[in-house]
Amino acid sequence: LGGASRLYTEDDPLVILGSSSLKPTISNSSSAWLVQFYSSWCGHCIHYSSTWKVLAQDVKDWQDAIGVAVLDCAQEENFDVCRDYNIQFYPTFKVSVSTKQSFCVCSGADREVQSMRRLMVNILQNHTRQEWPQRCPSLEPYSSAELLPLLGQKSDHYTAVFVEEPDSYVGREVILDLLLYSGVQVKRALSSDLPLLDALKVTSFPSVYLLHPDGTHAHLHSEKKLRFFFSSLLRTLPGVQRRSSSAVAHVGAPSGKQDSEPWRDFNRSQVYTADLESALHYLLRVELASHSMLEGEKLKVFKDLVTLVSKLYPGGGSVVKLMETLSDWLLSLPLQRIPYQAVLDLVNNKMRIAGMFLGEELRWVGCQGSRPGLRGYPCSLWTLFHVLTVQHDAMPNALDNTGLEVEAAPVLQVMRSYIRTFFGCQECSRHFEQAVAAGIQEVKSAEQQIVWLWNQHNRVNARLAGSLSDDPLFPKVQWPSPSLCASCHEERNGVHEWNLDNVLHFLRHHYSASNLSPKYSL
């Protein structure tokens, strides 16, 4: 997370935005922008990146009307801008709809290339009615009254009359495909315009009727009635030329540090407080901070999380003091709604004065990735909750009188609510919610809680093994590996089996307070 993500590079046909380039790019632009706010730690975003690149390539020539961009909300320098734009889940798609830097959230039927492309067309069509963006040609259909007088007239360019069914997108896509080409204008007409069909003798749709510069006119024969065929035929007419895009000048410089964080040596058989602190840093200052107001269920989930961490976070120290103060403050407030900025102020300023601060930066150790964008926050969140399950088992009375002890599996219940309400990766929370809903009633004790979370984490590991979010240096294996815990593994009739007693014993040790290393911690 510390450096620029490699999910997208400057070689991709899109613009990589950052905190300093987002606003200037939008406000100085004569085109609209479709921006994907993503997070480089979100597995779904990693998978989706290939689709987004195909889309960007597919609509590259539309850039004078609408550009495609990305912004990585997991980069520290982008935290504030993602909060300003209220990005709560990844990926979030927004389209700039005016030069006043405002955005509309957009969603299509799905996020596949065709749906996103149609969404772009719809947005452009709606906004060109208000004569914006400046360089977008009209996507509205022309009428026979407007088109028929052009027949027989000489001109300095071709006019292609694209006749199609009203719900077809091909004509509008071809208009945009030809945006960067001079010498030809594409105008769209509808199959319902009977005088036009009569005059041009058009009987099938879509069809292109071509008006030549010398005043002659005829059907344009296309082998297949596909967007690609029509666009290529028009681009290769004699005298038609591609010009360079004017939008390129507005493209902001790629943002973010290009170099990675220095490597921190660590021992895989230990847990690092720097990772736990970074999890809380990210959670409090980034993930929660995108919710401007806490009320109702959100406020309850936040209070429960703070209570849980304040009671179970191991080792005392300034993190526990901070969480205790935060917890007391939250419980003492009779408010139904709390602006998140008040929480941030407390975390950032008042507590610092009292010497109870949380690290100022993310510092991954056991959770560092072999390259930026891998591991980091989700790794640290798993680690934090594993630690909390083990602490709950070690201190059975720690949650007394907190209201949380009434649950059979309080750590899992709080984790479940947190993941469902705040975790940025929606795919992850959907999967996790399904798993908890199906299995939590089986968990009746603190040790079953430890084992349930271990087992669920291994299921996720199995699902993600070999996926794009799998760090080659830290492959997703069934954990703990034999090198960490040989006695955890057995074989029965030639088939691998876990020794659950030894697994529990291992987890109790691995995630215990005594196995926490303060190395690299602040």
Catalytic residue numbers, as ranges: 42, 45
363 binds ligand FAD (CB under 6 A): no
- Does position 416 interact with ligand FAD (CB under 6 A)? The reply is no
Minimum distance of ligand FAD from residue 250's CB (angstroms) = 34
- Helix, strand, coil in percent for the chain, rounding step 5: 45, 15, 40
Asked if residue 283 binds ligand FAD (CB under 6 A), the reply is no
Alpha-helix runs per DSSP H in 160-295: 170-177, 194-200, 227-235, 273-282
- The reply to whether omega before 334 is within 30° of 0 (cis) is no
> Which one of 139-147, 214-222, 357-365, 453-461 is the stretch in contact with ligand FAD (CB under 6 A)?
453-461
89 makes contact with ligand FAD (CB under 6 A): no
CB of 462 vs ligand FAD, minimal distance in Å: 10
Three-state secondary-structure class, residue 67: strand
Amino acid of residue 439: G
Query: In angstroms, rounded to a whole number, what is the distance separating the alpha carbons of residues 274 and 91?
Result: 27
Residue pair 412/465 in contact (Cβ under 8 Å)? The answer is no
Nearest in space to 130 (alpha carbons), one of 170, 97, 106? 97
Q: Does 419 help bind ligand FAD (rule: CB under 6 A)? A: yes
Q: Is the peptide bond before 133 cis (omega within 30 degrees of 0)?
A: yes
Stretch that binds ligand FAD, among 80-88, 348-356, 403-411, 426-434 (CB under 6 A): 426-434
**Of the two residues 137 and 378, which places its CB atom closer to ligand FAD in the complex?**
378
Applying CB under 6 A, does 235 fall inside the site for ligand FAD? no
Shorter beta-carbon distance to ligand FAD: residue 43 or 206: 43
At 353, the amino acid letter reads: I
Contact 431, 420 (CB under 8 A): no
What is the footprint of ligand FAD within residues 14-73 (CB under 6 A)?
43
**Cα angle 348, 354, 358; round to 5:** 40
Using CB under 6 A as the binding rule, whether residue 414 contacts ligand FAD is answered as: no
Number of Cα atoms under 13 Å in the Cβ half of residue 498 = 15
Q: Which two tokens stand for residue 150?
A: 């052009």
CA distances to 169, 203, 206 from 223, in Å: 19, 16, 12
| Residue number, nearest CB to ligand FAD | 43
Nearest to 469 by CA among 432, 499, 427, 504: 427
Q: Which stretch binds ligand FAD (CB under 6 A): 113-121, 195-203, 346-354, 460-468?
A: 460-468
Among 8, 282, 454, 520, binds ligand FAD (CB under 6 A): 454
Query: Which residue of 240, 471, 508, 519 would you call a contact of ligand FAD, by CB under 6 A?
Result: 471
Q: Is 427 in the site for ligand FAD (CB under 6 A)?
A: yes
Q: Which helix (H) or strand (E) holds 190?
A: strand 184-190
Q: How many residues does the chain have?
A: 522
Name the one range near ligand FAD by CB under 6 A: 20-28, 181-189, 204-212, 466-474. 466-474
With CB under 6 A as the contact rule, which of the stretches 77-85, 302-310, 463-471, 513-521 interacts with ligand FAD? Answer: 463-471
User: By C-beta, is 144 or 368 nearer to ligand FAD?
Assistant: 368
Shortest separation between residue 99's beta carbon and ligand FAD, angstroms: 37
Beta carbon nearer to ligand FAD, 74 or 234 = 74
> Contacts with ligand FAD: how many residues (CB under 6 A)?
25
What CA–CA distances, in Å, run from 112 to 53, 62, 155, 168? 11, 18, 40, 18
Examine residue 365 and tell whether it contacts ligand FAD (CB under 6 A): no
Candidates 373, 386, 436, 450: give the one binding ligand FAD (CB under 6 A): 386
Instruction: Please answer whether residues 285 and 76 qualify as being in contact, where contact means their C-beta atoms are separated by less than 8 angstroms.
Output: no
Tokens 């002890």 appear where? 405
139 to 178, contacts with ligand FAD by CB under 6 A? none
The answer to whether the CB of 147 falls within 8 A of the CB of 160 is: no
Stretch that binds ligand FAD, among 9-17, 141-149, 343-351, 457-465 (CB under 6 A): 457-465
Q: Does 488 bind ligand FAD (CB under 6 A)?
A: no
Binding site for ligand FAD (CB under 6 A): 43, 367, 375, 378-379, 381-383, 386, 419, 427-428, 431-432, 454, 457-458, 460-461, 464, 469, 471, 474, 476, 479
